[in-house]
């Protein structure tokens, strides 16, 4: 869950590393640091705090080297302080023979630390990473090539890692390795990069090589060499990043989260582009790698995900059951991977992950494949581990998402799940007329999301009230229950106000005990088959003097009469209503956090891509 960047070439390394770390800061921001080889010795600069603190440190204590590795940390082992900040150095008697940055968790670090301490290696930090540095230093003492030394170290490490390092005796050379935590090589002209995310290298090159699990790499300004720790030399495949470098810039917006909320009309367009087939009343999803016969054989679908992706999967449950008449279960990926659930041979497992690297979701995928189930992945990041290991899948094409609180990825996942539900439905009982109506609805979604964004002034007025609350309830029925959960999650993530989501029908079965004049309820209440029942539930809250904020149609007079604030969305077919209803809730969380002065793009304790268990 940390950010790694490395550079070797003709440029001064420090500015490149700092710029890369700024782009990766969403992956962790407890501390930041860099190491470079200068005149045969390792120069180390690191400090607790944001990347800006490192940048200031380098102003008065610069490093002139042309190679180095940098890191921005999300703490797992040890407090967020200067000592535990990466990089960590290895060597005997204070010698810095190697500097290492690491993403992941070394599960056997305690035993390795005891072994190394018995041999005279002194430890300064509480991190698991420092054992890697000392193991490397011990192997380098033998005088072998650094890549050979690294390949001897890797089998000793249990757990997950994305590693990048420099050695004192090899200026201009970087080493890297991955197992369960992403690492890519950026391929330039006369310069090369290492990074945990292509975002870091996008301004310099569009060509990247994704390392696979078990692989290690030696990088110089001229070339790079990849070796598998068991299979030997590997011929890497070079891919191109499919988005422009300015996609990771703020572009005049106050925060990345606000930028990404406002990008959602384009997100819906890109998710559906080339996939809606009006003449067939269906969707065409080319990456499924399953024939129509194989898909018709499916009798059960399991959706596995975490966090916001889990909420999108819940929307998918409603859509697939409604359009395809297939039973669907939505599982927390971190629980599913350890359960021995009774899945038969006609079960299709679909995993969802924005990053394609979520550790729990990857574990669920691998367990499903081990048991012989066909697996599909719905992911955003091309070349990610989940995308590579699934039997097939669908890319979101949402572009890079920098804000830690996911917004446009949720919308893209819901759109893709609607496409999948349509495709499965047309293979079964869904008529052409019904399918064509869904195609038309999805085609209209981008413009209608744009209309929903116009609710921002009404949202800001409601945010003033919500910002004063200590707890908020979010409620919705049917397709809008997952939207309520997502609204509660967004508020928790970035404003630190306690929030819970419930089905509206559950209000009277317990949560109504919490209602008082200081506890607002946010109802997701567009018109639909259960609208009258939702209005009755709102009446129950109103009778107990609970403040009410509603997401609904601007011309819904009954809803307006019962609500203190209405966040308007346009009328739309029910199948795309979640794409519209979530927009005011995302904006609500954003403006509440803004009013409270919270760090919106970098909320406390959170990181963007959860690559550790």
For residue 608, indicate whether it is catalytic.
Answer: yes
* Distance, CA of 67 to CA of 28 (rounded, Å): 23
Q: Is the pLDDT of residue 195 over 90?
A: yes
| Confidence (pTM) | 0.84
The lowest-confidence range among 33-37, 145-149, 397-401 is 397-401
Pick among 3.40.50.360, 3.40.50.10490, 3.30.230.70, 3.90.550.10: CATH of 252-430: 3.40.50.10490
- Give me the mean pLDDT over the 504-525 stretch: 91
Q: Is the pLDDT of residue 17 over 90?
A: yes
Q: How far apart, in Å, are the Cα atoms of 245 and each of 132, 203, 468, 555?
A: 33, 5, 39, 42
Q: Give the residues across from 353 on adjacent strands.
A: 379
**How far from each other are the two terminal CA atoms of the chain, in whole angstroms?**
10
For residue 244, indicate whether it is catalytic.
Answer: no
Structure tokens at 383: 């070349």
Q: Is the pLDDT of residue 241 over 90?
A: no
> Which is catalytic among the residues 490, 492, 602, 608?
608
| pLDDT for position 415 | 98
- Give me the mean pLDDT over the 154-178 stretch: 94
The pairing of strands 471-476 and 498-503 is parallel
Q: Is the pLDDT of residue 139 over 90?
A: yes
Count other Cβ atoms within 10 Å, centred on residue 97.
21
- pLDDT category of residue 245 using cuts at 50, 70 and 90: low
Comma-separated ranges of CATH 3.60.20.10 domains in the chain: 3-245
> Which is catalytic among the residues 2, 272, 306, 598?
2
Q: How far apart, in Å, are the Cα atoms of 150 and each of 43, 196, 213, 304, 405?
A: 21, 18, 14, 35, 36
**Percent residues over pLDDT 70 in the chain:** 97
* Distance, CA of 380 to CA of 365 (rounded, Å): 16
Mean pLDDT of the residues in the chain? 91
Chain segment 103-114, per-residue pLDDT in tens: 888 999 999 999
Comma-separated ranges of CATH 3.40.50.10490 domains in the chain: 252-430, 455-601
| pLDDT for position 341 | 76
- pLDDT category of residue 129 using cuts at 50, 70 and 90: very high
* Distance, CA of 77 to CA of 242 (rounded, Å): 35
Chain segment 326-366, per-residue pLDDT in tens: 999 999 999 998 887 788 889 999 999 998 888 899 999 99
If 0-12 CB within 10 Å is exposed, 13-18 middle and 19+ buried, where does residue 532 land?
A: exposed
| pLDDT for position 462 | 96
Contact between residue 303 and residue 330 where contact means Cβ atoms under 8 Å apart:
yes
Domain 3-245 falls under CATH 3.60.20.10: yes
Q: Which residues contact 571 (CB under 8 A, 6 or more apart)?
A: 526, 527, 553
Strand, helix or coil at 432? helix
Q: Is the pLDDT of residue 403 over 90?
A: no
* Distance, CA of 28 to CA of 80 (rounded, Å): 11
Instruction: Classify domain 455-601 by CATH number.
Output: 3.40.50.10490
| pLDDT for position 27 | 67
In 263-407, which residue ranges form alpha helices assigned H by DSSP? Answer: 264-272, 292-297, 307-324, 333-336, 359-370, 385-389
């Amino acid at each position: 869950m940390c950010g790694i960047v490395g550079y070797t070439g003709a440029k001064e390394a420090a500015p490149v590393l700092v710029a890369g770390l700024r782009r990766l800061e969403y992956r962790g921001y407890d501390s930041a640091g860099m190491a470079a080889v200068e005149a045969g010795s390792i120069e180390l600069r690191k400090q607790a705090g944001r990347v800006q603190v490192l940048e200031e440190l380098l102003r008065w204590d610069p490093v002139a080297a042309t190679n180095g590795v940098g890191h921005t940390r999300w703490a797992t082992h040890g407090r967020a302080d200067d000592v535990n900040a990466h990089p960590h150095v290895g060597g005997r008697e204070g010698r810095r023979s190697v500097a290492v940055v690491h993403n992941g968790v070394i599960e056997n670090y305690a035993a390795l630390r005891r072994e190394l301490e018995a041999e005279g290696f002194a430890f300064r930090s509480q991190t698991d990473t420092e054992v890697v540095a000392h193991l490397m230093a011990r192997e380098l003492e033998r005088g072998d090539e650094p890549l050979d030394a690294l390949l001897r170290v890797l089998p000793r490490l249990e757990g997950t890692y994305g590693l990048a390092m420099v050695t004192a005796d090899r200026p201009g050379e970087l080493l890297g390795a991955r197992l369960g935590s992403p690492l890519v090589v950026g391929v330039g002209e006369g310069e090369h990069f290492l990074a945990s995310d292509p975002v870091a290298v996008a301004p310099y090159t569009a060509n990247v090589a994704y390392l696979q699990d078990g692989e290690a790499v030696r990088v110089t300004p001229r070339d790079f060499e990849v070796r598998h720790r068991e299979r030997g030399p590997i011929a890497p495949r070079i891919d191109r990043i499919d988005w422009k470098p300015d996609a990771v810039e703020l572009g005049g917006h106050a925060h990345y989260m606000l930028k990404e909320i406002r990008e959602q009309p384009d997100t819906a367009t890109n998710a559906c582009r080339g996939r809606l087939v009006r003449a067939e009343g269906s969707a065409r999803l080319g990456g499924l790698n399953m024939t129509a016969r194989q898909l018709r054989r499916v009798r059960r679908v399991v959706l596995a995900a975490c966090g916001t992706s889990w909420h999108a999967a819940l929307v998918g449950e409603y859509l697939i059951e409604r359009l395809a008449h297939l039973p669907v279960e939505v599982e927390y990926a971190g629980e599913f991977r350890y359960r021995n659930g009774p899945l038969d041979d006609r079960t299709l497992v679909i995993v969802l992950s924005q990053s394609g690297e979520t550790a729990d979701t990857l574990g669920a995928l691998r367990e499903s494949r081990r048991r012989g189930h066909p697996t599909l992945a719905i992911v955003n990041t091309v070349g990610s581990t989940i995308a590579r290991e699934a039997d097939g899948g669908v890319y979101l094409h949402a572009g890079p998402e920098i804000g830690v609180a996911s917004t446009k990825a949720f919308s893209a996942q819901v759109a893709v799940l609607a496409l999948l539900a349509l495709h499965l439905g047309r293979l079964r009982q869904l008529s052409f007329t019904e399918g064509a109506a869904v195609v038309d609805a999805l085609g209209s979604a981008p413009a209608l999301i744009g209309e929903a964004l116009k609710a921002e002034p009404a949202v800001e007025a409601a945010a003033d009230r919500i910002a004063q609350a200590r707890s908020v309830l979010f409620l919705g029925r049917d397709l809008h229950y997952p939207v309520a959960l997502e609204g509660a999650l967004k508020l928790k993530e970035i404003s630190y106000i306690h929030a819970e989501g419930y089905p509206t029908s559950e209000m009277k079965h317990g949560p109504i005990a919490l209602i008082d004049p200081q506890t607002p309820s946010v109802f997701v209440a567009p018109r639909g088959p259960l609208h009258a029942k939702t209005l009755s539930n709102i009446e129950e809250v109103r009778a107990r003097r609970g403040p009410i904020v509603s997401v609904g149609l601007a011309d819904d007079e009954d809803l307006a009469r019962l609500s203190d604030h209405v966040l308007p969305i346009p009328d739309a077919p029910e199948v795309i209503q979640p794409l519209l209803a979530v927009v005011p809730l995302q904006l609500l969380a954003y403006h509440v956090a803004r009013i409270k002065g919270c760090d919106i793009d970098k909320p406390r304790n959170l990181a963007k891509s959860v690559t550790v268990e």
